[in-house]
C-alpha cells in the first residue's frame, strides 16, 4: 500500500493516530498518560517526518524509529511544550538554552561537510542543505526545513470552513488554486452538495491555469540552472503572461479567492485566443530546446531517482511520474472525458522531469480548451454537518491531501499534507554520483514548496 499521511488528533482521554493509505484508513488509540506508537519507517521511510512531527506537536513517543530528532522545533524551542495539544494556549514562548542539532554525516578520509542555507543568495524561503563531500562528488545530503513554524493547524481550530479559507488558500502561493480545490471538496462533502458540471469545468480551468504558470516557470528555470539563460527569459515571459490571465479572471495574480460557490462568467473568445498563442509558443520552445545537445548532456543521467526508490519513499507528482509511477489525481472520469492523458517517463532523471512538464503543459492547454464555459451559476451550499472529511487535489507539484474534522460547526482538527512533504524526503536519493554543482539543477527539477512543507 502507498502511505499518504500520518498524523495525530487529540480526544478527551487519548490521542488518535490516523494513518492514511491509498486503500484504507487505519486508526489507533494511545493513552495520554504514556503515548507511544510503533514506527512505520522500516517499510515506509518517508513516515519519519510525519512521526517526528507528531512528537513535536503532541509529545507522542515513536518506538524503534531511526531518527528521534526534533523536526519543527528549532534549537531554542522550549522542551516539554507540545503546541498542538488542546491545553496549549500560550501566545509567546521564552527561548530555551541552545541545543545543537546533530546532522547526519559520512565519515572517512577526505570526506568533508558543506552547509548551504538556511539563508540563501537567491530569493527563496529558508531551507538548510547539509552535504557530505569527497572532492566535488556528493556522497550524502540532508534536508532540513521548518524554519517558519506558522502554526497554521492550531490557528484554524475553532474557525468555520469559510473563515478558514483565506488562510488555507495562502498556505503555499504556487498551489493556491489546488488548496482551494481541496477545501471546496470538503465543503461539498460536509454540506452533501454536488458541484454542477459548468462550475466544475470552470474550477478545473483555473487549476490548469495555475499549473500553466508554474510549469512555464520551471521549463525556463531548469535549463537556466544548466547554464542556458535564454530559456529562463522565454519561460518567464510566458509565465508572467499566464499569471496576468489568472488575475484577469480571478482578480488576483495568485488566484486568491478564486474557488467559491458564486456565479462567474468567462470570455471564451479571449481565453481561446490566449491558448492558441501559447500553443504556438510552446511548439516553438519545444523545437528550440530539443535541439541543444549540450543541454541534454547536463539533463540526462543527472539526479536519478529509480522506480524502486520512488515507490519506497511514497513519492507523488512529477517526481513520481518521471520514475515511472502512474500516479495523478486527475486520472479519473471527469478529467479523462475532457482530454486528460497521464504522462510518465522511466529514466527518473532531470531529463525525465523536464520532459514530463513539457508534455503536461501541452496536455493542459488541450484540457483548458475543453474546460471553457460561458458562465457557472451560484449555488447555496447549505449547513455544514459535523464529521471528518478528506480530499485530494493534483497541484503543479503533485498530490495534495487535506483532512478537516468539524465539531459543533467549527474546525476541530485541520491537517494537510503538501506533496513536498514526502518529495523533499526523497531528494537525497538523487544526489550520489553527481557533483555539488548539480544540486541546484536537481533541486529545481523537482520544484518543491518550502511554504507548503512548513505549516
| DSSP states of 386-418 | PEEEEEEEE-SSSEEEEEEEEETTEEEEEEEE-
- Specify the domain boundaries for CATH 1.10.645.10 within the chain: 158-446
Q: What is the pLDDT along the chain (455 residues), one digit of tens a residue?
A: 999 999 999 998 899 999 999 999 999 999 999 999 999 999 999 999 999 999 999 999 999 999 999 999 999 999 889 999 999 988 888 999 999 999 988 888 889 999 998 988 777 889 999 999 998 899 999 999 999 889 999 999 999 999 999 999 999 999 999 999 999 999 999 999 999 999 999 999 999 999 999 999 999 999 999 999 999 999 999 999 999 999 999 999 999 999 999 999 999 999 999 999 999 999 999 999 999 999 999 999 999 999 999 999 999 999 999 999 999 999 999 999 999 999 999 999 999 999 999 999 999 999 999 999 999 999 999 899 999 999 999 999 999 999 999 999 999 999 999 999 999 999 999 999 899 999 999 999 999 999 999 99
The pLDDT, as a whole number, for residue 348 is 98
**E strand or H helix at 63:** strand 61-63
Cα→Cα distances 109→130, 133, 134, 281, Å: 18, 11, 9, 52
Distance CA 408, CA 150 (A): 25
Grid cell listed for 440 = 541546484
What is the number of other CB atoms lying within 10 angstroms of the CB of residue 333? 8
Distance CA 161, CA 172 (A): 18
Helix/strand number for the chain, H first, E second: 14, 13
The pLDDT, as a whole number, for residue 400 is 98
Q: Are 427 and 412 in contact (CB under 8 A)?
A: no
Q: Are 172 and 449 in contact (CB under 8 A)?
A: yes
- Among the listed residues 416, 441, 385, the one whose alpha carbon sits nearest the alpha carbon of residue 153: 416
Burial tier of 262 (Cβ tally within 10 Å: 0-12, 13-18, 19+): exposed
Distance CA 341, CA 414 (A): 32
Q: Are 43 and 35 in contact (CB under 8 A)?
A: no
> Three-state DSSP class for 31?
strand
Identify the residue whose cell numbers are 479572471.
249
The pLDDT, as a whole number, for residue 78 is 92
- Mind giving me the DSSP string for 113-149? EEEE-SS-SSS----EEEEEEETTEEEEEEEE---S-
The pLDDT, as a whole number, for residue 106 is 86
The pLDDT, as a whole number, for residue 269 is 94
The pLDDT, as a whole number, for residue 397 is 96
Distance CA 220, CA 417 (A): 27
Burial tier of 16 (Cβ tally within 10 Å: 0-12, 13-18, 19+): middle
Q: Are 355 and 300 in contact (CB under 8 A)?
A: no
State the Cα angle at 304 between 301 and 306, rounded to 5°: 125
- Among the listed residues 163, 174, 176, 168, the one whose alpha carbon sits nearest the alpha carbon of residue 150: 168
Beta bridge partners of 3: 21
pTM as predicted: 0.97
CATH architecture of 158-446: Orthogonal Bundle (1.10)
Amino acid at each position: 500500500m502507498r502511505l499518504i499521511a500520518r498524523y495525530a488528533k487529540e480526544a478527551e482521554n487519548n490521542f488518535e493516530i490516523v494513518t492514511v493509505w491509498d486503500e484504507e484508513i487505519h486508526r489507533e488509540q494511545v493513552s495520554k498518560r504514556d503515548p507511544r506508537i510503533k514506527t512505520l519507517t522500516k517499510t515506509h521511510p518517508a513516515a519519519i517526518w510525519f512521526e517526528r512531527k507528531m512528537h513535536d506537536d503532541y509529545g507522542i513517543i515513536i518506538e524503534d524509529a531511526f531518527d528521534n530528532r526534533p523536526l519543527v522545533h528549532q534549537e531554542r524551542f522550549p522542551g516539554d511544550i507540545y503546541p498542538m495539544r488542546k491545553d496549549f494556549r500560550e501566545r509567546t514562548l521564552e527561548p530555551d538554552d541552545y541545543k545543537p542539532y546533530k546532522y547526519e554525516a559520512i565519515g572517512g578520509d577526505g570526506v568533508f561537510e558543506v552547509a548551504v542555507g538556511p539563508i540563501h543568495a537567491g530569493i527563496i524561503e529558508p531551507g538548510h542543505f547539509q552535504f557530505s563531500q569527497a572532492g566535488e562528488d556528493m556522497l550524502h545530503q540532508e534536508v532540513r526545513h521548518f524554519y517558519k513554524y506558522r502554526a497554521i493547524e492550531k490557528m484554524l481550530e475553532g474557525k468555520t470552513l469559510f473563515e478558514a479559507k483565506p488562510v488555507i488558500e495562502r498556505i503555499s502561493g504556487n498551489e493556491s488554486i489546488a488548496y482551494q480545490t481541496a477545501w471546496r471538496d470538503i465543503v461539498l462533502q460536509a454540506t452533501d452538495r454536488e458541484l454542477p458540471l459548468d462550475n466544475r469545468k470552470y474550477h478545473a480551468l483555473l487549476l490548469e491555469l495555475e499549473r500553466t504558470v508554474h510549469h512555464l516557470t520551471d521549463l525556463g528555470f531548469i535549463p537556466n540552472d544548466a547554464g542556458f539563460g535564454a530559456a529562463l527569459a522565454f519561460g518567464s515571459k510566458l509565465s508572467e503572461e499566464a499569471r496576468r490571465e489568472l488575475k484577469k479572471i480571478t482578480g488576483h495574480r495568485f488566484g486568491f479567492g478564486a474557488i467559491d460557490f458564486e456565479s462567474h462568467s468567462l470570455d471564451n473568445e479571449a481565453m481561446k485566443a490566449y491558448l492558441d498563442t501559447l500553443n504556438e509558443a510552446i511548439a516553438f520552445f519545444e523545437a528550440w530546446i530539443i535541439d541543444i545537445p549540450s543541454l541534454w548532456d547536463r539533463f540526462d543521467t543527472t539526479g536519478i531517482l529509480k522506480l524502486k526508490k520512488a515507490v519506497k519513499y511514497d513519492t507523488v507528482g512529477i517526481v513520481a511520474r518521471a520514475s515511472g509511477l502512474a500516479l495523478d489525481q486527475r486520472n479519473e472520469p471527469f478529467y479523462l472525458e475532457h482530454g486528460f492523458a497521464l504522462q510518465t517517463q522511466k529514466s527518473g532523471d532531470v531529463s525525465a522531469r523536464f520532459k514530463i512538464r513539457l508534455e503536461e503543459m501541452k496536455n493542459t492547454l488541450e484540457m483548458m480548451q475543453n474546460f471553457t464555459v460561458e458562465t457557472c451559476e451560484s449555488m447555496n451550499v447549505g449547513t455544514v454537518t459535523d464529521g471528518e472529511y478528506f480530499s485530494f487535489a493534483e497541484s503543479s507539484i503533485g498530490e495534495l491531501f487535506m483532512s478537516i474534522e468539524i465539531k459543533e460547526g467549527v474546525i476541530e482538527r485541520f491537517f494537510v499534507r503538501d506533496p513536498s512533504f514526502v518529495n523533499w524526503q526523497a531528494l537525497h536519493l538523487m544526489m550520489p554520483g553527481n557533483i555539488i554543482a548539480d544540486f541546484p539543477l536537481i533541486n529545481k527539477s523537482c520544484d518543491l514548496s518550502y511554504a507548503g512543507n512548513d505549516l
